Amino acid sequence: MTLLGDMEPAEAESVYFNEYSAPKALPKHEALARAFIDLHVEDNRRVVLVTSGGTTVPLETQTVRFIDNFSAGTRGATSAEYFLQQGYAVIFLHRQYSLLPYSRHYSHSTNCFLDFMDEAPPTADAANPDHGSIVVRSEYQDEMRDVLRKYRYAKQNNRLLLLPFTTVAEYMFELRAMAKLMRPLGSNALFYLAAAVSDFFIPRSRMAEHKIQSQEIPAHLQGDTVDDSEEIYTGENEIQPPKNQKKLVVNLDPVPKFLHRLVDGWAPDGSMVVSFKLETDPSLLVYKARTALQRYSHHLVIGNLLSTRKWEVVFITPDAPHERWIRVPKARRSKSISGVEDQVGLAEIQKGGSAQKPTSQ
Ligand code: PAZ
């Protein structure tokens, strides 16, 4: 059987998208995105699609278990704030419950949101003597006011559209749909692909329907997907642990790389595409980022290492200087008051704008 990864991109697209049904939320997301894009086309505003957070790979159709990855969405949520600050409208395609622009300062921090609050001294309200208002604690006032103003501005001016996904298939459907909807934007469209997209998945045809069992099931309860031999099958080619061994062997296929299709087919002509490359081995990072840029012929690959990604990235571009490191100086790496680490500010990714000089460590 030919793997999707071995097919021509257009064929892989057709096979992949025929195998899965579109996510239930897609029509609603498309309607919201269409209205959002129309508004910004009318105002001749740049729109960036920021993808953020990790995708999941379900092990069962009725999913109890899934494979996930580390990404919390910090890069995507932080970058979205910078884009908004630069006047972009942002479609924030993110993993459900991952970090969001602005609320990220408080939502997943070491402090519970209640720790930011206090009761104001009781007022002289004779009817309600014990009921002072709830207020933000004085030490958080300045930062929270600043974040609140930016958040309100984005909301009131329709600059931020939040669209969630969970699985890798949902992500693919949403990405394709958003890219196509962004066509009227032409060169005002930017794709900033910071999501950590799964590299391996179980094709639907091989997925177990029900929860994979870790113990032997009595014969009279076994359904069609379970046989009586030494091994329990959860679907064609999907093998559960041999009986009496608590081992699960999962057979994954490579996820087709649709960046090619995004650049050559889905995205509007003249748009800019920025992808990210994550590695853990420093000796591979630049090589892998360069290879991605050559393979997909887009505009920029931003490389980062798992361990240093919060303060160091490398920009790999088709034109000189080809490789440029950007670092947050040590002194600026401290945590903000809410305990959330900031990330390398990628405000310089503006179409047509020149990037800042790297700051030395
Ligand atoms: O979400 P986060 O801030 O913890 O991590 C960001 C990141 C490392 C996922 C992102 O910068 C990135 O490299 N995304 C692409 C990952 C990849 O598919 O190689």
Residue 151's φ and ψ, nearest 5 degrees, are -60, -50
Per-residue pLDDT reduced to its tens digit, 291-349: 999 999 999 999 999 999 999 999 999 999 999 999 999 888 855 544 455 566 555 55
Cα 71 to averaged position of ligand 1 atoms, centre (Å): 6
Task: State the ipTM, two decimals.
Answer: 0.99
Per-residue pLDDT reduced to its tens digit, 94-104: 999 999 999 99
Once rounded to an integer, what is the mean pLDDT over residues 55-76? Answer: 96
Give the CA radius of gyration of the chain.
Answer: 24
Cα 271 to averaged position of ligand 1 atoms, centre (Å): 22
The CA distance from 336 to 33, in Å, is 33
- Which of 69, 304, 344 for mutating ligand 1's site (highest number of atoms within 8 Å of CB)? 304
Once rounded to an integer, what is the mean pLDDT over residues 155-175? Answer: 98
The predicted structure's pLDDT at residue 6: 83
The predicted structure's pLDDT at residue 354: 35
Q: Is residue 120 pLDDT above 80, yes or no? A: yes
The predicted structure's pLDDT at residue 214: 81
Domains in the chain (CATH in brackets) are: 20-118+154-202+254-333 (3.40.50.10300), 205-250 (no CATH)
> Which of 38-42, 244-248, 320-324 has the least mean pLDDT?
244-248
Beta bridge partners of 191: 49, 273
Protein residue closest via CA to atom 16 of ligand 1: 196
Tell which atom from ligand 1 comes closest to the C-alpha of 72: 1
Nearest CA among 321, 278, 54, 277 for reference residue 171: 54
The predicted structure's pLDDT at residue 265: 96
Q: Is residue 239 pLDDT above 70, yes or no? A: no
pLDDT band for position 357 (cuts 50, 70, 90)? very low
The predicted structure's pLDDT at residue 345: 52
The predicted structure's pLDDT at residue 122: 77
The ligand 1 site (C-beta within 6 Å) comprises: 71-75, 194, 196-197, 276-278, 304, 309
